[in-house]
Structure 1
Amino acid sequence: MNYTYLDSLATYGVGGAHPGGLQLTKQLLAREKVNRKSAILDVGCGTGQTAAYIFRQYQCYVTALDNNQVMVDKAIQRFRSLHLPIKVVKGQTEHLPFKNETFDFILSESVTAFTNIPVSLSEYKRVLKPNGVLLAIEMTAEPLPFTKKEKQFICGFYGVSDVLTETEWRYHFLKSGFRQVKIKKHKHHFVPQDVMYANDFMLSNQIHEKHYEILEQHQQIVSKYKDKLNYRVYRCTV
C-alpha cells in the first residue's frame, strides 16, 4: 500500500505538527479580538489539538473540519473525553459545507498547501464574514530556488502541486478576494520540533513501519533543504 505523509501524521495522531506548533497558534490568536461570540473554523483540524485549545481559552463557537476519517475520529474522541461542545465535520477545503459569511476567523495550519490552493482560498473567502480573518501558517519556498528535480521530489513526497514563494502566496490571496495580506516570517525553521518527539500523540491501534520511515524522511528533507524550504504566517482579511 502506498502511504502518504498525511497518512502517517494521521496514523500517529500527531498534534501540533504544523510549523511553530501550538505555541505559535496561541501567539497568533492572542493578537486577535476573539471573544465568546466569535465563530472559528479550524480547517484540517487533525486530532483537534488547536480546536480544543481555542474553546477552552475563549469559550467561543468552534468548528473543526478535516477530510481524513482517521483524524476526524481522533478529534471526536478528544472532544468527547474533554467534554467540549465542538462541532466536527468531515469535508474538504475546496467544498466547505457551510453557508456564506458564517465565520469570523479561519485557521489553516499547514493545510492549504496540500489542497487546490485557489479553490480553497475562494471557499475561505466565501464563508468568512465581512472583516473576517484568515490565519494561515503555510509551507513557503525561500528566494533561493529549488532545482527542477528538487521541486519534483518535494512535491511528490508531500503530495502537493507546487511549493509557493511568499510572492506567489500573496498573489493567490489577493486574487481570491482578500483585501489585505500581512506576511510574517518567524525565527523558527520550517518544523522547529521533531514530529516523532512531539508531546501530543493519538496513536492508531496498528502502525505499519512504513509510517515511521515516512516521518523520518520528512525530518531528513527539512534538514537538507533548510535554506530553501521554510514557512510564513499569512494574515488575510476580507
Structure 2
Amino acid sequence: MDYHDLLARLGEGSAHPGGFSATLQLLDTLSIPAGVHILEIGCGTGRTACHLARHGCRVTAVDLHRHMLDKAVRRARKERVDVRFIQADVAALPLPDNHVDVVFIESVTIFTPWRKALSEYSRVLKPGGLLVDREMILSGRKTDLMSRKLKQFYGIRTLATVLGWKKRLREYGFSNIEVKEHSRKMGKWGVDHDPLREMDMNWLEDENVQRMSRTNDRLLMKYGKRLGYAVFTARVPSEAKHK
C-alpha cells in the first residue's frame, strides 16, 4: 500500500490545501462558462468533475488509480451527471490534439514526470486554451534527504519554486502565465462534508494505515515549513501549435 492507495481507500478526493472549499473558490474566480470542455487530470473520486458537469461543462476526467475511478463513476451515477471517466497516465493521455478548452489540475503534476505532463497538457489543449494547476511548491531549502523522503512516502517526483514552475511552463510553450494564489506554507488540509464519500471503514483500524498516518505527521513536522503551494494559470498561444 502506498500513499495514493491510502487516499483511495479513505475516499479522499480533495487532498490539497484548503480541500474542496478551495476548489470551489478557485472555480468562482475563473468564471468558466457552461458548455466548455474541461479535462480534469487526477480526478480522484470525481467530486470536482461532477460539480463541473452539474454546472453545464462538458467534462472528461482521468485518473491512474482504478479504485478512485470506481468511486468516481458511482458518484456520477448518484448525482445523475454525465462525465467521461478514463483510466490513464498523464504522460500519455489517450486524447486527440487540440481537444479541450481547459485542463484543470490540483496536486497531480508533482507526482508525474513533469516534462511529459506539461507536453501532454499543451498537446490536448486547443489554441488559446486555459491551463489551471494547483501544486505544492518549494519555499525553503531542498536537500537530497528531503527529496528522497518525500518521493519514498508520497511519490513526489519533482519540487520547484514559483519561479521554477513559471520557467517550466514557458519552456513548454505556455504564455500569459499568472499566479492566482501563492502561500509559502502548506496550510491546513480542508475538511469538507462530502455526503457521497465512500470510505473503506475496515481500513481505519489497519496497522499499516496507522503507521502511514504517523509517518505523514512526522514528515510534515520536519519539512512542512519548506513547502508551500501555488495556483498557476497559463494559456496555449492562439496560433497553430501542432504541425
Q: Percent same amino acid among aligned pairs?
A: 33
- The residue aligned with 1:131 is 128
Q: CA–CA distance in 1 between the matches of 2:90 and 2:56?
A: 24
Structure 1 SS opposite 2:177: strand
Q: Which 4+ stretches in 1 moved above 6 angstroms?
A: none
- Structure 2: gaps spanning 5 or more residues: 237-243
CA distance in 1, matches of 2:95, 2:202: 34
Residue ranges of structure 1 left out of the alignment (5+ in a row): none
State the secondary structure of the residue aligned to 1:65: strand
- Distance across 2 between alignment mates of 1:134 and 1:140: 17
Native 8 Å contact 1:19 1:192 kept in 2: yes
- The structure-2 alpha-carbon separation of the partners of 1:77 and 1:205, relative to structure 1 and needing over 3 Å to count, comes to farther
Cα separation, 1, equivalents of 2:213 and 2:93 = 29
Range with greater deviation from structure 2 (68-77 or 200-209): 200-209
Match for residue 221 of structure 2 among 223, 226, 238: 223
One-letter amino acid matched to 1:228: R
Name 1:70's counterpart in structure 2.
67
What is the CA–CA distance in structure 2 between the aligned matches of 1:35 and 1:185, rounded to whole Å?
A: 21
**Contact (CA 8 Å) 2:185, 2:226: kept in 1 or not?**
no
CA contact (8 A) 1:106 1:133 kept: yes
1:145 pairs, out of 123, 136, 141, with 141
Q: 1:155 aligns with which of 136, 151, 155?
A: 151
Could you tell me how far 1:187 is from its partner in structure 2?
5.0
For residues 64-103 of structure 1, the aligned pairs below 5 Å read 64-103=61-100
Is contact 1:8–1:215 with CA below 8 Å preserved after alignment?
A: no
The 8 Å contact of residues 41 and 106 in structure 1, kept in 2 or not, is answered as yes
Q: CA deviation at 1:51?
A: 0.8
SS of 1:31's equivalent in the other structure is helix
TM-score, normalised with respect to structure 1: 0.89
Contact (CA 8 Å) 2:20, 2:192: kept in 1 or not? no
Aligned residues: 232
| Residue pair 1:19, 1:110 contacting (<8 A) in 2 also | no
Q: In the superposition, relative to structure 1, how do residues 162 and 186 fare at CA in structure 2: closer, same or farther (>3 Å)?
A: closer
Match of 1:181 in 2: 177
- How far residue 151 of structure 1 moved from its aligned partner, in angstroms, is 2.2
Worse overlay, 12-21 or 122-131: 12-21
Q: What does the per-residue CA deviation read over 1:100-157, in whole Å, with 9 as the maximum and x for residues that have no partner?
A: 1111111111011101111011101011111111111101110x20232222212222
Q: Contact (CA 8 Å) 1:101, 1:126: kept in 2 or not? A: yes
Change in Cα spacing, 1:173 to 1:212, as seen in structure 2 (3 Å) is farther
User: What is the CA deviation profile of residues 31-53 of structure 1, one whole-angstrom value per residue up to 9, with x for unaligned ones?
Assistant: 22422220011110000011111
Of 214-223 and 161-170, more deviation after overlay is shown by 214-223
1:199 pairs with one of 193, 196, 207: 193
Tell me by how many angstroms 1:209 deviates.
3.1
What displacement does 1:215 show? Answer: 3.6
Tell me which residue corresponds to 1:59.
56
- The secondary structure found in structure 2 opposite 1:161 is coil
Deviation for aligned residue 1:199: 3.2
TM normalised by structure 2 equals: 0.88
